[in-house]
Amino acid sequence: MPDFSRAPKLLMAPKVLVIDFRSLAVPAAWFQSSDLVGQYIAAMRQASNNVLIYQVVNTVEAAKYPVLMDGRQYDDTTWAAAEADDTKAFRDSHGNYMLADYQRILLDFNILSQVKSQQIDEVWMFGGPYFGFYESRMVGKAAFWCNGPGIEQTCRRFVMMGFNYQRSVKEMVHDFGHRAESILARQFGSQSFLSLLYSQQPPVAAAMPAPKNDYEKFLLANGTVHRKPGGADYGQDETAWVTALDPSWWPFAVDPNKAS
């Protein structure tokens, strides 16, 4: 078991690359990514008790849609049609929404070289419905599940967040909660415990095995990112959940290179 009591408690200031995929077809009433960025940085600083202070070092305005895994790419006409009628969204052979081609994004925006040269520590992508983003996904050497499958690359590990500017900072904190949930489950060896909590409708503490570490005790006391203990799905206060994290866990949730 890792010794979390020795985890560094110094200020964390990760450097962020923001990629804003936004075409003219995006409704003007939706949130501006720059506003969401500022609100999210403030929310995470407060939740971490001033330990985590993100710094945006570059913002790329991409007036286009991400290329999807099968090579297709929305244009203003096809995306507007999907937004108006879900049956017109691009899907795979199993009927699932088509995912974005992350390898193409890594290449198009020269992300790996920026990570290797220490220019950036993580990536925040903004897009709309059907753009194919995971809420979070890890990239790098020995990348592992982070609310999305890992992408193996020959560089230090980093996380690519997928945010939706149709929604608010509440959902952005929700996405970080799942990121932390995944990384800490891996660090504590509690993936099966977390999966069992999610499989219950709703989770019942009495039906769970005895917690074998502090993270599992935390989950029983605070619930998952989706549910309070015994509560309804999506009834959790994400900010309260993130704020309740043990201070010594923050470095692992923020920097995946510290995780085992």
Q: Where are the domains of the chain?
A: 4-258
Distance CA 195, CA 138 (A): 19
Question: Tens digit of pLDDT per residue, the chain (260 long)?
Answer: 444 444 445 689 999 999 999 999 999 999 999 999 999 999 999 999 999 999 999 999 999 999 999 999 999 999 999 999 999 999 999 999 999 999 999 999 999 999 999 999 999 999 999 999 999 999 999 999 999 999 999 999 999 999 999 999 999 999 999 999 999 999 999 999 999 999 887 767 778 899 999 999 999 999 999 999 888 899 999 999 999 999 999 999 999 999 98
User: φ, ψ for residue 138 (rounded to 5)?
Assistant: -95, 145
Query: E-assigned strands of the chain?
Result: 15-21, 55-62, 122-127, 136-140, 151-152, 158-164
Question: What pLDDT shows up at residue 216?
Answer: 97
Question: What pLDDT shows up at residue 10?
Answer: 64
Question: What pLDDT shows up at residue 9?
Answer: 53
Residues composing the chain: 260
Between strands 158-164 and 136-140, the pairing is: antiparallel
Q: 4-258 — its CATH code?
A: 3.40.390
The predicted model scores a pTM of 0.94
Question: What pLDDT shows up at residue 8?
Answer: 44
Question: What pLDDT shows up at residue 1?
Answer: 41
DSSP readout, 206-241?
GGSPPP-SHHHHHHHHH--SS--TT--TT---HHHH
For the packed helices 169-188 and 214-222, what is the interaxial angle rounded to 10 degrees?
150
